[in-house]
Amino acid sequence: MCTVTFLPAGNTIYLTSNRDEAAARKTANTPKVVAFSSGNMLFPKDNEAGGTWMAAHENGNAMVLLNGAFIKHHHNPPYRKSRGIIFLEVFNHNSPIEAYRHIDLIGIEPFTLIIWQGKQLWECRWDQTAKHVTPIHANEPKIWSSVTLYDEAVRTKREIWFYKWLSMQTQITADAICQFHEFGGDGDSSTNLKMNRDGILLTLSTTSITINNTKAIMHYKDMQNGAITIAKLPINKSI
């Protein structure tokens, strides 16, 4: 939930996330389709808090969470709800953008949501005081790195890696994107996309969603044991 890339390719989009967390945090369940009031949703579930950081909906929407908003904040628990639970409450809606605009976020730790809805891309940031909603060009690739872990210089450096990698690709595939999320960097384990800071804070998993007009496919790799799970969700345009 701390490094995210978005890549459009014709009628297909790729949304990919590295989940950087404390090594002691319990691993997540592998992705499964779960029925909600708004329809079926595909996501990996966090065992500790019960929420998630990334999901696809059968209506064609997708969403991913990053910790923090614009600047590194002071972690000051307890919070009213986990951000992963807030994620599910926002995403369980035909319009996550509208759900985000109306949800009560008082007492919630700062976060950023990247929302793919109706073939449009949005960046929604909660800074613990106000909500910010920004439309993002959906025909351009983009990378985000969490402000809680990476300062501006490192975020800029990661953008350079991303666009350099992209310039060398002749064809965009989920496998190629996941390879970048695992091996991108300059050899510094504290800032590589697959990061490791003294074995205390590290990348626990990579999750990638591929969405076209007929289906969503989620590729999930557990970096702790190397296990790869691929799950599919049919798109239902009548939802």
Cβ(41)–Cβ(59) below 8 Å? no
pLDDT in tens, 129-150: 999 999 999 999 999 999 999 9
User: What would the pLDDT profile of 148-160 be if each residue is shown by its tens digit?
Assistant: 999 999 999 999 9
Over residues 218-239, mean pLDDT? 92
Mean pLDDT (whole number) for 112-120: 97
Report, as an integer, the average pLDDT of 25-49: 91
User: Would you list the domain boundaries of the chain?
Assistant: 3-234
C-alpha to C-alpha distances, 145 to 8, 43, 71, 157, 191, nearest whole angstrom? 19, 21, 12, 10, 10
The dihedrals phi and psi of 101, each to the nearest 5 degrees, come to: -60, -30
pLDDT at 25: 80
Dihedral angle, C-alpha 107, 109, 114, 115, nearest 10 ° = -20
The stretch 19-23 carries a mean pLDDT of 92
Q: What pLDDT is stored for residue 89 in this prediction? A: 98
- Determine the pLDDT at residue 229: 97
pLDDT bucket at 116, cuts 50 / 70 / 90: very high
Q: Which fold is adopted by the domain 3-234? A: Penicillin V Acylase; Chain A (3.60.60)
Q: What is the pLDDT, as a whole number, of residue 76?
A: 87
pLDDT exceeds cutoff 90 at 48: no
Cα gap 184→177, rounded to integer Å? 10
- Contact between residue 45 and residue 29 where contact means Cβ atoms under 8 Å apart: yes
> Are 135 and 120 spatial neighbours (Cβ–Cβ below 8 Å)?
yes
Q: Evaluate if residue 239 carries a pLDDT over 70.
A: no
Regarding predicted confidence, which is higher, 75 or 162? Answer: 162
SS3 for 21-47, per residue?
EECCCCCCCCCEEEEECCEEEEECCCC
The answer to whether residues 213 and 38 touch, using CB atoms and an 8 Å cutoff, is no
Res 188 pLDDT > 70: yes
Tell which residue, 156, 153, 152, 173, has the closest CA to residue 164.
Answer: 156
Return the percentage of the chain with pLDDT > 90, whole number: 90
Q: What is the mean pLDDT of residues 53-62?
A: 98
Map 82-102 to HEC letters.
CHHHHHHHHHCCCCHHHHHHH
pTM: 0.96
pLDDT computed for residue 237 by the predictor = 74
pLDDT at residue 10 in the model: 92
Beta carbons of 86 and 105 less than 8 angstroms apart: yes
Portion of the chain with pLDDT greater than 70, in percent: 98
